[in-house]
Amino acid sequence: MSRSHLLGFLAFAALLVAVPLTAENEYELRLFMLFLIYGLIAVGLNVLVGLTGLVSLGQAGLFALGSYTGAILAVRLGADLVTASIGAAVVAALFGVALAYPTVRVRGVYLAVVTIAFGIIVENVAIEWTALTGGTTGLSGIPTPSVFGYELTGYGFYGVLAATLLLATLAAHNLTDSRYGRAMLAVSQSEIAARSLGVNATAMRILAFVAAAVTAGVAGVFYSFLNQYISPDIFTFSDSVRFLLMVILGGAATTFGPVLGAFVLTYLPEYLQDFQLWQKFAYGALLLAVMFVLPRGVMGTLGLGLKRLRPAARGLDPAEVAAAGAGLPAASRATTAELVTQGLTVRFGGLTALSHANVRVKGGEVHALIGPNGAGKSTFVNAISGVYRPSEGAFGIDGEDLTGKSQHEIARLGLARTFQNTELFGELTVLENVLVGGQSRLRYGLVDALLRTPRRRREERELRAAAVGLLAFVGLTDHANEAARYLPFGLQRRLEIARALAARPRLLLLDEPAAGLTSQEIDELAAMIRKIAASGVSVLLIEHHVDLIMAVADTVTVLDYGQVIASDRPGVVQNDPRVIEAYFGSPVAHGELSEASA
């Protein structure tokens, strides 16, 4: 943990101890406890909003679910605070999973509307299901909270709330700073790239939704014990808006932002009461002002200001680079990988983009795939990397069938790729991009991440060293701490290669890596590709640039109208009359092919 964060947590803990000692009356303490509860909701919601970039406008619904579950368990079954919290956490988590399910198909505004609908449904179920919830009159007579038979006094309950918020903030911070947080950020910035690196995007979104749901659910239990009475009108759409605003106002994706946001929005209504009639208007005006003046929130803006004041070094410490050692790790398998496709066919409606393609990429070779525009090259790439499902046929690496597997499964089995129009995680740094590449090789679990165990630290250290080595290989150590989107185009292409290599693939798929590069950059790329192949990684190269193909390819396969029309050594293919016809329409003399395509 960085020193500033450590100081932040110590200050936060000190504040939590100081407040009850200085509180003048019970009302003040109660209001502060309400802030602790809202803080818990905001910290959980921040995982969803800040990391995965998904918007939930239904947190009040999850809050209500937790409240009602806790209250019903306490009133009907005499459950104590612990049992009620576990019960509520389980119920909320289940609904969190259910809410995450639509994200498989819909995002953005659609998802926001689904969550709004969810909140309204919960509110109305609470009204309608009178036998269980007491309907509009609500549930009263919630007992004072007790833990394992000990009744909690006002200060005891305060202690539970304060400790929970502190630990939740710490856990969220650790989650952000782990493979999970990195994967969530990656998914939010380019889902297709994250999947191509073996990140299970759906699992990450479910995890984020569950984090947001469980915290809201437990906060709900605390609320019902604090208030000792709950009714449906406490959990409305405008409360969901307020919870989201807490995160945005404080600063999404920051550690203490949500807590700060919750603090401001718990106390603000108290002050706005002076405005009387204008109270709601002032609240709306504040919301609007935040969106304009502080779109990154208070903590986000502060962090940005600090960075401007004391910019971090753009590159890496030379000592670290030297320790990591430039270059490629030797291929992890004794045998190099062989990709075989059999009768691979992809149809879009009536159009057959790829027709019974049989391609064999031998272990350790550089295999080029060429063809005129519309020949089916991209379709082939997208089919074997799992973006498209083949309509017919099969493909596999080293005899292992990959047909029908999802993108991240294929990636984990040893196929890594780059993209025609680079798909970097633009807001992440160059180094972080490569770290995401090595994501699927990490073995530590959620518990390790939340507790920052030695295992997590060791694996992260090893991954970082490997990533630094790869940055040295592609020559990007001087840019390691820059945001990837600020890199010049040529360097972005190299970063994509380093990122793909971080996954330690058996087969590397380069989709038009030379497009847009200068001739010097292409020469460097050719050298790089040869080194990669020499390290034991098979390379499938999709390219238009004939010079590059002639320089590096061992075998060339030519596609035309979705069919393989030739596959042989470069020199042979270059003179194949069918290939020449595919490019020019009629047979012409040898030599013009390279000129025309270059």
Partner 1 sequence: MTTILQYTLSGLAIGGVYALVALGFHIMWSTAKAVNFAHGDTLMIGAVLAVMGVDAGMPVWLACSLAILAGAVFGVALERVAVRPFTAQANSIGWMLSTIAIGIMAESLATMQFGGFSRPLPSPGVDRPINVFGAGVYPQELLIPAVAIVLTLGLGLMQKRTLVGRAMRAVAHDKRAAALMGINVNRIVALSFGLSALLGAGAGVLVAPVIQASATMGVLLGLKGFAVAIIGGITSAPGVLVAGLAFGVLEKFVEGYISTAAREIVAFGVMIAVLLVFPQGLFGKRETVKV
Q: Binding residues for partner 1, per CB under 8 A?
A: 49, 53, 55, 57, 101-102, 105-106, 108-110, 112-114, 116-118, 120-121, 123-125, 127-128, 192, 237-238, 241, 244-245, 248, 277-281, 283-285, 287-288, 290-292, 295, 378, 382, 387, 419-421, 423
What are the two backbone dihedrals, phi and then psi, of residue 149, each rounded to the nearest 5 degrees?
A: 90, -15
**Looking at beta carbons only, is 283 or 473 nearer to partner 1?**
283
Place of tokens 């499938």: 540
**Looking at beta carbons only, is 115 or 336 nearer to partner 1?**
115
In one letter, which amino acid is 522? I
**Looking at beta carbons only, is 127 or 483 nearer to partner 1?**
127
Closest distance between partner 1 and the C-beta of residue 153, in Å?
Answer: 38
**Looking at beta carbons only, is 180 or 243 nearer to partner 1?**
243
Interstrand relation of 555-560 and 563-568 (parallel, antiparallel or unpaired): antiparallel
**Looking at beta carbons only, is 16 or 353 nearer to partner 1?**
353
User: Which residues, including other chains, have CB under 8 Å from residue 319's CB and lie 6 or more apart?
Assistant: none
**Looking at beta carbons only, is 386 or 505 nearer to partner 1?**
386
- 542 in Cβ contact with 376 (< 8 Å): no
**Looking at beta carbons only, is 255 or 382 nearer to partner 1?**
382
From 371, 496, 352, 369, select the one nearest 430 (Cα to Cα): 496
Closest distance between partner 1 and the C-beta of residue 283, in Å?
Answer: 6
Closest distance between partner 1 and the C-beta of residue 197, in Å?
Answer: 14
Q: Cα(207)–Cα(188) distance, rounded to whole angstroms?
A: 14
**Looking at beta carbons only, is 244 or 580 nearer to partner 1?**
244
**Looking at beta carbons only, is 15 or 98 nearer to partner 1?**
98
Closest distance between partner 1 and the C-beta of residue 286, in Å?
Answer: 8
User: Which residues, including other chains, have CB under 8 Å from residue 403's CB and lie 6 or more apart?
Assistant: 390, 393, 394, 395, 396
Using only C-alpha atoms, what is the Rg of the chain?
28
Half-sphere exposure of 338 (CA within 13 A, CB side): 10
Closest distance between partner 1 and the C-beta of residue 5, in Å?
Answer: 25
Closest distance between partner 1 and the C-beta of residue 115, in Å?
Answer: 10
Alpha helices in 273-358 (DSSP H): 279-293, 297-309, 318-324
Strands, E, within 70-120: which ranges? none
**Looking at beta carbons only, is 19 or 127 nearer to partner 1?**
127
User: Which residues, including other chains, have CB under 8 Å from residue 303's CB and lie 6 or more apart?
Assistant: 251, 254
- 480 in Cβ contact with 430 (< 8 Å): yes
In one letter, which amino acid is 546? V
Q: Cα(567)–Cα(557) distance, rounded to whole angstroms?
A: 4
What are the two backbone dihedrals, phi and then psi, of residue 328, each rounded to the nearest 5 degrees?
A: -95, 145
Closest distance between partner 1 and the C-beta of residue 440, in Å?
Answer: 20
Closest distance between partner 1 and the C-beta of residue 387, in Å?
Answer: 6
- 397 in Cβ contact with 507 (< 8 Å): yes
**Looking at beta carbons only, is 117 or 322 nearer to partner 1?**
117
Closest distance between partner 1 and the C-beta of residue 317, in Å?
Answer: 32
Q: Buried b / exposed e across 98-107, counting CB within 10 Å, b at 16+?
A: ebbeebeeeb
Q: Cα(448)–Cα(360) distance, rounded to whole angstroms?
A: 42
For the four alpha carbons of 167, 172, 174 and 179, in that order, the dihedral sign comes to positive
**Looking at beta carbons only, is 51 or 165 nearer to partner 1?**
51
Closest distance between partner 1 and the C-beta of residue 150, in Å?
Answer: 39
Q: Cα(494)–Cα(497) distance, rounded to whole angstroms?
A: 5
For the four alpha carbons of 515, 520, 523 and 524, in that order, the dihedral sign comes to negative
What are the two backbone dihedrals, phi and then psi, of residue 424, each rounded to the nearest 5 degrees?
A: -90, 165
**Looking at beta carbons only, is 219 or 249 nearer to partner 1?**
249
Interstrand relation of 351-361 and 339-348 (parallel, antiparallel or unpaired): antiparallel
Closest distance between partner 1 and the C-beta of residue 401, in Å?
Answer: 24
Closest distance between partner 1 and the C-beta of residue 15, in Å?
Answer: 28
User: Which residues, including other chains, have CB under 8 Å from residue 354's CB and lie 6 or more apart?
Assistant: 344, 345, 346, 376, 379, 380, 383, 390, 559, 562
Closest distance between partner 1 and the C-beta of residue 53, in Å?
Answer: 5
Alpha helices in 23-58 (DSSP H): 26-46
